[in-house]
Chain A
Amino acid sequence: SQTIHQWPATLVQPVGSPLSLECTVEGTSNPNLYWYRQAAGRGLQLLFYSVGIGQISSEVPQNLSASRPQDRQFILSSKKLLLSDSGFYLCAWRPRPHRDGYNSPLHFGNGTRLTVT
């Protein structure tokens, strides 16, 4: 069966420091991968998604970036954190959609609670 791992679970970082959050998926190949941020009262906001190695689409301009160095690894980074980067970051995956348009739900990791101080 497929599993998704995300770490760390919690992180406290000072303003201006770098960030690296990692997500890996096991038990599948060629997944679509996603980074979401969940802020209080604002729902889940899509930050980045990837359909393959090295292929990253950004949804929201910001000081965050994402990379996919391996098929089942997705990394969220920042060179200099801002206070506004605080939030709950969720990684998710789903199988590559079939040609007939069938899609399947996203499956989420347990998230990283980031506090920028």
Chain B
Amino acid sequence: EDKVVQSPLSLVVHEGDTVTLNCSYEVTNFRSLLWYKQEKKAPTFLFMLTSSGIEKKSGRLSSILDKKELFSILNITATQTGDSAVYLCAVFSYQGGSEKLVFGKGMKLTVNP
């Protein structure tokens, strides 16, 4: 069974701290790994990673994939209170003739002022 595991499940930090979110996976026929940010409603897309070792960056957020060790990390530098959210990791796998997106349980980040 496909599995995506995120750690830690929750984290409380102070503004300005740097955080690293971890995501490991075991899936059939890996296609890509995605990170989402969910505040109150719709998860919003952050990154999609398909190749090992290539960092994707957007402002203070960056992410990298290791396909050999089957994990990804999401880094947030100089955190702000607006970074408080649930961060979701998900993996596209291909099975039974279709692609499916399997999610981890999410990591709740709280950034205190």
Contact = CB atoms under 8 A, between A and B. Distances in A.
Q: Do A and B come from one complex?
A: yes
Contacts of B100: 46, 49, 59
B67 interface: no
A43 B104 contact: yes
Contact of B42 (A41, A51, A90): A90
Interface in A6-56: 34, 36, 41-46, 49, 51
Interface residues of B, number: 21
B105 A41 contact: yes
Interface of A: 34, 36, 41-46, 49, 51, 57, 59, 90, 97, 101, 103-111
15 contacts: A41-B105, A42-B105, A43-B104, A43-B106, A44-B43, A44-B88, A44-B103, A45-B103, A46-B102, A51-B98, A97-B99, A105-B34, A107-B45, A108-B44, A111-B41
